[in-house]
Structure 1
Amino acid sequence: MQIKKNPKSNLENFSKIFMQIGLVLALFVTYQAIEQKTYDKTYGDLGTVNMNAELEEEIPITERVEPEKPKTPPPPTPEKIEVVEDEKEVEETVIESTETDETEAVVVEEIEEIEEVEEVVEDVSFMIIENVPVFPGCTGNNEELKACFSKMVQKHFSRKFDAELPNELGLSPGKKRVFIGFKIDRQGNIVNIQARAPHPKIKTEVVSVMKQLPKMKPGRQRGKPVGVKYSIPFTLIVE
């Protein structure tokens, strides 16, 4: 036999009503809690406190002690003053004059003359000399004078040197190097000629040719004439 439920006993039909009643109750409880009055708790009288009361500080009484002043030594005893009687003669000190009289002869010591030693400047290289030696006929600034000097020395060597000498000596064909060095002294003369050549006769010929160089205008260093060293290589072609 199947049991049938009564439609009125089904609580699901009243769920909306129950929810509304619960919501109304929750709002009522919240309202009562908000409207409830509260009062501050009171405590017994603790008395009044004066915050502006100053604390009295006990200041110790100090006594100022003056430092002891150092004792000054007594003044020195004055020297004994000798009293001279009026009748006693006192010797006076006579100061002699250092001035000479016109009648006295004045002795003058002989003054020894010191010869001024001329500063000797050593020989300077042609490449670093302040004012280079000047080959006759060359003009221009220092660099132009250097180039002209070398050019004229090469021209002099080519014109004066015996070009047939290397062939006559039977040297092997090819290029032969000759190194020449000399100095232009403080008077402009060519001195200290040195040569290095592949044959002694060529060396003698080179020295002879360099001795024929004309007199130069001497080089100057710090404004004074000095000796100037010069060197130059030459190439000989032997056929």
Structure 2
Amino acid sequence: KELEDKTVATVTVKGNTDAPDLSGLSGEGNKVVEEVVESKVYTYVEQMPALPGGGGMGAIVNAIQKNVRYPAADLRNQVEGKVFASFTVDENGDVSDVKIVKGLSGTIDSETMRAIKTLPKFIPGKQNGRAVKVSFTVPVTYKIQ
């Protein structure tokens, strides 16, 4: 009863004729897929890079602060404030790509970069069980005591 006075029709839909040419491929499709290695730099991963003693971001900032030597000219001119620096910890735990994001003076910025480059080797960050590159941005405070 439901289909009384109803029109039933069929429609033919043509397929995609722009399919890629696969004639050059050979084999039986039973090869192992190689793991794709990305050169992506992460900002947050499952296991963040850490200094050998641990302590997270606070330990990293403290290690940089301990390595900083206040430039004499900036000390005389009483230059104070925060420098924001970024750097990358690579898959081997090495620090690279050190940059100043927001600086105070040329000498303080150079000193901050030098202090970051003297950080010890990190325990690399991991994502999905694999060591990956991780970028950090840290504040370094310059205050005359």
TM-score, normalization: structure 1?
A: 0.42
Q: Which amino acid aligns with 1:116?
A: E
Q: 2:81 aligns with which of 176, 194, 202?
A: 176
Larger Rg: 1
Percent identity at matched positions? 21
Paired position in structure 2 for 1:205: 111
1:170-216, Cα deviation, whole Å (9 max, x unpaired): 245xx412111101001110000112321111111111111110111
Root-mean-square deviation (Å) = 2.4
CA spacing shift, 1:234–1:134, aligned 2, 3 Å: closer
Structure 1 position 189 matched with structure 2 position 62: no
Give the Cα separation in 2 of the matches to 1:137 and 1:220. Answer: 17
Q: Which amino acid aligns with 1:179?
A: F
**Unpaired runs of 5+ in structure 1?**
1-112, 139-147
How many residue pairs match? The answer is: 113
Give the Cα separation in 1 of the matches to 2:118 and 2:39. Answer: 27
Secondary structure in 1 matching 2:143: strand
Give the Cα separation in 2 of the matches to 1:114 and 1:236. Answer: 54
Paired position in structure 2 for 1:158: 65
Secondary structure in 2 matching 1:217: coil
The structure whose residues are more often helix, as a share, is 1
Q: Which amino acid aligns with 2:104?
A: P
Shift of 1:234: 2.1
1:66-105, Cα deviation, whole Å (9 max, x unpaired): xxxxxxxxxxxxxxxxxxxxxxxxxxxxxxxxxxxxxxxx
**Unpaired runs of 5+ in structure 2?**
1-30
Paired position in structure 2 for 1:108: none
Shift of 1:115: 8.7
Structure 1 position 134 matched with structure 2 position 50: yes
Structure 1 position 230 matched with structure 2 position 126: no
Q: Which amino acid aligns with 2:49?
A: P
Paired position in structure 1 for 2:38: 120
TM-score, normalization: structure 2?
A: 0.67
Q: 2:75 aligns with which of 152, 161, 167?
A: 167
Give the Cα separation in 1 of the matches to 2:38 and 2:95. Answer: 19
